[in-house]
Each structure stands twice: as C-alpha cells, then as structure tokens.
C-alpha cells in the first residue's frame, strides 16, 4: 500500500532480513516511484503518526507524518517514498538506526552492512532500468 495514495501499486522489490527479525524492502513501482518499507519488531506504536528519522551514520533522512501500521501482534511497519539520491546514501552508509517520535531503534553493524549491499543492488537496478 503506497502512502498517501491509498492503493496498491505494481512493481519490483528487493529485501534484506535483519538479525533482530526486522526487514528492509526497497520497492520500484511500474511508474518509477521508489519506496522504502521498514518492518520492525520492537518499539511498536501501531497507528501512531509522527516524524520518522532514518539514520545512516552521521546523516539522517526525515519523513513527516509517517504512520506505523500493524502487520501482526509483534510486528509493525512504515512505508515512505524515497528518491534515487537517498538510495545512493544507503548504499554507502546503510541504516544505523531509526527514530520514531522520540524512541530510537539501533541497527547492528551487520544489519547496516546487509542494507548497504541490498541498496547497492537496488541502486544499480534503478540505473539500468530507466
């Protein structure tokens, strides 16, 4: 389900399963829009809307008015639209943590490395398929 659109879009995705049970998915729709879906297993605040900060080393990406949606009793997720230049940042630095509202969730070095690898593959697929 695409945020702000209210409908399901067709496309392709790549995903990385993280050590703590969380997951990161990069989506490219058939219209060329890019989305990031973060599936989290801790700091669950279902249906709460707030600012989401995605940390990549010393850099941060901010998304306003993001709602954490419920996927299951112990799993929530965020979906945000991203741009190619941000995928470039992720292929260099990965995701080291997220802050939703005022609560921070850290990612391990191994998780950040997995995210870097998948972001690199996704970035290359964006470059090839214009």
Q: What is the DSSP string of 30-60?
A: TTS-EEEEEEESSS--TT-EEEEEEEETTEE
Per DSSP, 107 falls in state -
Whole-prediction pTM value? 0.88
Report which of residues 63 and 6 the model is more confident about.
63
Closest by CA position to 118, among listed 27, 46, 10: 27
| Dihedral-angle region of residue 5 (phi above 0 means left; psi in -120 to 50 means alpha; beta otherwise) | alpha
Q: Greater confidence, 3 or 30?
A: 30
Is 2 within the bounds of a domain? no
What's the mean pLDDT in 23-44? 93
Q: Which domain holds residue 98?
A: 11-128
The predicted pLDDT at position 128 comes to 64
Number of domains in the chain: 1
- Please indicate, yes or no, if residue 85 is contained in any of the structural domains: yes
The reply to whether 93 falls in a domain is yes
């Amino acid at each position: 389900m695409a945020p702000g659109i209210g409908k399901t879009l067709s496309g392709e995705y790549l995903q990385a399963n993280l050590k703590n049970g969380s997951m990161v998915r990069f989506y490219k729709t058939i219209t060329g829009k890019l989305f990031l879906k973060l599936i989290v297993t801790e700091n669950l605040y279902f249906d709460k809307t707030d600012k989401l900060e995605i940390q990549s080393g010393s850099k941060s990406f901010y998304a306003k008015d993001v709602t954490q949606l419920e996927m299951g009793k112990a799993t929530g997720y965020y979906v945000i639209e991203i741009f190619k230049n941000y995928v470039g940042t992720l292929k260099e630095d990965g995701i080291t943590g997220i802050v939703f509202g005022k609560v921070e969730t850290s990612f391990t070095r191994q998780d950040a490395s997995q995210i870097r690898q998948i972001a690199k593959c996704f970035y290359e697929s964006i470059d090839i398929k214009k």
